[in-house]
Each structure stands twice: as C-alpha cells, then as structure tokens.
C-alpha cells in the first residue's frame, strides 16, 4: 500500500512539473457532438469507445477500468508543452523523449499519449510516428496546456468560452502533422477540472481521462523510487500517469524498463486507455 508520505511526495512532484512546464450525475441533456477524432473513422463499428454523458449531460470522467476483470493496466504519457515554450525548445530544452518511445516499442507496451497541440507542432515527425504506430493511441491534452480551472499549479487559465476551441485546436494540429485518428479522449492540464469545465466541453463530445496512480516521475531523479510508487499503486484496471518530456521527467524511460517486466511477472497485461473504457462501458 502506498504510504501517505509517498502520496504527498508524488503529488508535490506532479505539481512541480506542471508549474515548471507552465508547465488533479442525474438527468441527461441532448447527446454531445462527436469529437473531431471520431469523424475520421470509416464506420460506426470503428469508432473508439467513449462513456455516456455524466449527470446533467456533463462531460464524463474516466479514472480506471473494472477492478474485478483481467489484470490490465494502462500506462499513459503526457506530452506537455505550453503555447509559449517555443523559445525554450529552440534553445535546446527537450520537451520530447525519443528514448522513452523507443523503450515502449522495444518492450512492446501499448500506451496512450496525451499530447498538446503545441507539442505536436514542435515535434511533427515524432507526433506523426506515434500517431501512426498501432502500438500507441494519441489523445488530447489541450492545445495550450493552460488550466481549465483557477489555481491549478500556477498554470495560465483558459477562459470558459475558449475551452472547446482550445481542445478543437489541438485536434486540428494533430491533423496538420498527419495523426490520422486521434482518440476522443481529453486529459485536463494539471488534472484540474470542475463542473464548469465539464459543462464547457460537453459539445466537443470527449471523455475526460484522469488516473488512479500518480507515478511521481515529474522532476524525479531516483528512478527506483518512482518505479516503486507505480508498483505499489497499480491494481487491476489502473491508469498510470507519467510524462513524455525529457527535461521535466528524465527518469521515465528507466522507470518503464523497470516496472514493465515486474508487472508482467505479476500477471498484468498492458493495454491502451480505449480498452479500459470499452471494458467499463460494457459493465454499464
């Protein structure tokens, strides 16, 4: 069981990374419009699974899959880059992590990458390669990586009326760089959301994806400690949040190389978020 100290440490590390990156139900209304990603599918059967709208038609929130089914776990990676960090990338700061992506391929680990539109624009070749690799799925982490609530780890805030546009702008960036089928899933920058944000995104038709295991990889220097945080936290159906940003999360590749064989040795199977959502939807 994760100790209270570890939980606080992981939460603080996550907060530090988000700050440094400038960069945590009742009656239904009308059905939401499909997310931009869903329009690219060729038939209804090909559409990725999503959750039904939440209370009062709000954007549904997914945190983990079923606990009593197969021992599945989804590793998710936030490819963070805010809209004003271009000069930092130009000066050599690494917001990408090719070694991590190579490790996932080498280990044959399916994964979901929550990508900002700005990251896709900065690294179009990598974004396209990730988006076209069947091992991975690309989901939306906003265009700007600005917060959808006030007081979210020091991130700038998106105005309520601009929230849908910020999400749709990310999908447009994905299409421009050649990501064919981004998923209709959205992760709030910083994991921060409230009823107002869920209502604002209802017309976009996305499922919001959170997590139940905080890896603590943000700005961590001890890969073994981060790996232990993941191993102690994972349960069947878990969604683990990690980062695909080398400068802010330098240990993540080593963490992945450590936890993957251990979890497989315990009988866990790695899946994408879409598989967990499909399993959860099948239970309703």
pLDDT tens readout for residues 181-201: 999 999 999 999 999 999 999
Share of the chain above pLDDT 70, in %: 83
More confident position, 20 or 133: 133
What's residue 12's pLDDT?
41
**Total domain count, the chain:** 1
* pTM across the whole model: 0.85
Q: Provide the strand spans (E) within the chain.
A: 61-62, 72-79, 111-115, 136-140, 185-186, 207-209, 213-214, 238-243, 269-270
Q: What are the φ and ψ backbone dihedral angles of 79, each rounded to 5 degrees?
A: -95, 85
Q: Is residue 4 part of a domain?
A: no
Report the range of poorest mean pLDDT among 9-13, 135-139, 151-155, 213-217: 9-13
Confidence of residue 171 (pLDDT cuts 50, 70, 90): very high
Pairing of strands 269-270, 238-243: unpaired
What's residue 69's pLDDT?
81
136 and 110 Cβ atoms separated by less than 8 Å: yes
Q: Is residue 42 part of a domain?
A: no
Q: Give the whole-angstrom CA distance, residue 142 versus residue 146.
A: 8
21 and 81 Cβ atoms separated by less than 8 Å: yes
Confidence of residue 61 (pLDDT cuts 50, 70, 90): very high
Confidence of residue 34 (pLDDT cuts 50, 70, 90): very low
Residue ranges of the alpha helices (H) in 34-123?
A: 86-90, 98-107, 117-122
Cα dihedral 158, 98, 114, 270 in deg (nearest 10): -160
* Mean pLDDT computed over 248-266: 98
Q: Is residue 43 part of a domain?
A: no
Report the range of poorest mean pLDDT among 20-29, 206-215, 248-257: 20-29
150 and 157 Cβ atoms separated by less than 8 Å: yes
What's residue 28's pLDDT?
34
Confidence of residue 283 (pLDDT cuts 50, 70, 90): low
Q: Is residue 274 part of a domain?
A: yes
Q: Is residue 234 part of a domain?
A: yes
What's residue 46's pLDDT?
72
What's residue 282's pLDDT?
75
Report the range of poorest mean pLDDT among 17-26, 130-139, 186-195: 17-26
What's residue 258's pLDDT?
98
More confident position, 163 or 19: 163
User: Based on the number of CB atoms within 10 Å of its own CB, is 200 exposed (0-12), middle (13-18) or buried (19 or more)?
Assistant: buried
CATH of the domain at 260: 3.20.20.370
Report the range of poorest mean pLDDT among 15-29, 35-49, 81-95, 108-122: 15-29
206 and 159 Cβ atoms separated by less than 8 Å: no
User: What is the three-class DSSP state of 169?
Assistant: helix
Mean pLDDT of the chain: 88
- Residue 232 structural domain: 9-22+51-282
* Mean pLDDT computed over 229-245: 98
What's residue 239's pLDDT?
98
53: its two tokens: 């709208």
User: What is the three-class DSSP state of 17?
Assistant: helix
Residue 215 has pLDDT above 80, yes or no: yes
Q: Is residue 32 part of a domain?
A: no
Residue 209 has pLDDT above 60, yes or no: yes
Q: Is residue 269 part of a domain?
A: yes
Among residues 70, 71, 90, 89, the alpha carbon closest in space to that of 80 is found at 89
Q: Is residue 45 part of a domain?
A: no
Among residues 149, 93, 95, the alpha carbon closest in space to that of 118 is found at 95
């Amino acid at each position: 069981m994760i100790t209270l100290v570890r939980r606080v440490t992981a939460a603080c590390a996550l907060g530090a990374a988000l700050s440094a990156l400038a960069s945590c139900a009742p009656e239904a209304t009308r059905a939401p419009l499909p997310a931009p990603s869903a329009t690219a599918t060729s038939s209804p059967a090909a559409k990725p699974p999503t959750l039904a709208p939440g209370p009062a038609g709000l954007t549904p929130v997914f945190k983990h899959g079923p606990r009593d089914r197969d021992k599945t776990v989804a590793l998710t990676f936030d490819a963070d880059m805010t809209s004003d960090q271009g000069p930092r990338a130009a000066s050599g700061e690494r917001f990408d992590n090719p070694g991590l992506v190579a490790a996932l391929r080498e280990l044959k680990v399916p994964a979901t990458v929550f990508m900002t539109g700005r990251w896709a624009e900065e690294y179009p070749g990598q974004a396209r390669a990730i988006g076209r690799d069947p091992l991975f799925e690309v989901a939306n982490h906003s265009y700007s990586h600005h917060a959808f609530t006030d007081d979210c780890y020091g991130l700038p805030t998106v105005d309520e009326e601009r929230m849908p546009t910020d999400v749709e702008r990310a999908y447009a960036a994905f299409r421009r760089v050649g990501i064919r089928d981004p998923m209709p899933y959205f992760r709030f920058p910083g994991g921060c959301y409230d009823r107002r944000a869920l209502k604002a995104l209802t017309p976009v038709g996305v499922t919001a994806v959170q997590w139940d295991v905080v890896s603590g990889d943000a700005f961590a220097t001890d890969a073994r400690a981060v790996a232990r945080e993941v191993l102690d936290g994972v349960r069947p159906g878990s969604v683990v949040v990690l980062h695909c940003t080398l400068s802010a999360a330098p240990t993540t590749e080593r963490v992945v190389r450590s936890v993957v064989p251990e979890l497989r040795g315990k009988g866990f199977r790695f899946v994408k978020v879409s598989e967990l959502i499909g399993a959860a939807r099948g239970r309703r």
